[in-house]
Amino acid sequence: MGTALVVGCGEVGYALKDVLDTVHNCYTVDLKYGSEPLLPSRPVDVMHICFPYSDDFVRQVWHYMANYTPGCTVIHSTVPVGTSVRCKALHSPVIGLHPNLEQSLRTFTKFIGGPDAGPAAEHLRRAGMRVYVFDKAETCELMKLMSTLYYATCIEFTKDVKRMCGDAGVPFEAWTLWTDNYNAGYQALGRAEYTRPNLTHIPGTIGGHCLLPNADLLDGDFAELVRRRNEDDD
């Protein structure tokens, strides 16, 4: 059993606390809501950063590190590549279904990246999570950003499919059936790497609190396409 401090009590922070609480003494703090933790006399083993990225993010992380002197710090927030190095922290992105992320944390392998990530990885494993370690925090930062950008790009592509089907007088469901058949055939042939997302049409601008903000943290043609289409979309 170890000690953990979760900083940020949103969807990610609460879910992570529920998982860690099963084996660790876990404390929380969220100054946004005026809550201060009751901490043990000794420093916590691992501090988990779970509040959203902002221009002030690095300064805030350093503030918490100075106040609570953890053995190591793990950033679970989605951040620009290089942020964790600036914070002298590890990075471990979250994959899962919002808003209830606890089951997802117990289901997906939790990637963690950065030098000397072994103790933090073991801290997560003891709470029942499967963990894969990379030697660079930048690897995990970039994988999460590319994952959400890929999903946003697929949403935009599906909007075009819906428009083109309408222009041609073809039911959109034909594309759904085609993609189901395509995926099933390639999986039957043992080539699951060709499986494609098969999304429903989502009209209007992309919603939620992660896809568009995450695209703003990346450079590149597809990030620009997603941003531009959602500025122009009615």
Q: What would the pLDDT profile of 78-89 be if each residue is shown by its tens digit?
A: 999 999 999 999
Q: Which residues contact 173 (CB under 8 A, 6 or more apart)?
A: none
Domain count, the chain: 2
pLDDT of residue 37: 60
Domain span at residue 10 reads: 3-135
Q: Are residues 95 and 161 in the same domain?
A: no
Question: Are 148 and 165 within one domain?
Answer: yes
* Residues 36 and 118 both lie in one domain: yes
Tokens linked to 209: 């609190």
For residue 99, say if its preceding peptide bond is cis, omega within 30 degrees of 0: yes
DSSP class of residue 31 equals G
Whether 209 has a pLDDT exceeding 90, the answer reads: no
Whichever domain contains 44, its CATH number is: 3.40.50.720
Q: Which residues pair with 74 in a beta bridge?
A: 48, 90
**Residue appearing with tokens 């950003």:** 145
Domain limit, last residue, from 135, 154, 188: 135
Coil/strand/helix, residue 117: coil
Quick one: pLDDT at residue 30?
Answer: 83
Which one of 101, 117, 135 terminates a domain? 135
- Please indicate, yes or no, whether residues 13 and 123 belong to a single structural domain of this protein: yes
| Same domain (yes/no): 42, 116 | yes
The DSSP symbol for 192 reads G
Helix (H) or strand (E) holding 111: strand 110-113
Segment 65-105, tens digit of pLDDT? 998 899 999 999 999 999 999 999 999 999 998 878 999 99
Whole-number pLDDT of residue 33: 56
Q: For 127-168, what is each residue's pLDDT tens digit?
A: 999 999 999 999 999 999 999 999 999 999 999 999 999 999
**Pair (10, 117) in one structural domain:** yes
Contact 47, 68 (CB under 8 A): yes
Q: Which of 88, 111, 135 is the last residue of a domain?
A: 135
Whether 23 and 128 share a structural domain: yes
Higher pLDDT, 169 or 2: 169
My answer on whether 65 and 120 are in the same domain is: yes
Structure tokens belonging to residue 134: 């990379």
| Percent of the chain with pLDDT strictly greater than 70 | 94
Which tens digit of pLDDT belongs to each residue from 121-137?
A: 999 999 999 999 999 99
Distance CA(167)–CA(67), nearest Å, equals 60
pLDDT, tens digit, for every residue of 6-41?
999 889 999 999 999 999 999 988 876 555 565 655
Q: Same structural domain for residues 215 and 121?
A: no
Q: Residue 79: how many CB atoms within 10 A of its CB?
A: 28
Q: Does pLDDT of 183 surpass 70?
A: yes
Looking at the structure, tell me whether residues 186 and 71 fall in a common domain.
no
Residues 33 and 111 occupy one common structural domain: yes
| Per-residue model confidence (pLDDT) at position 234 | 46
Above 90 in pLDDT, residue 233? no
113, two tokens: 């990246």
Q: Are residues 22 and 126 in the same domain?
A: yes
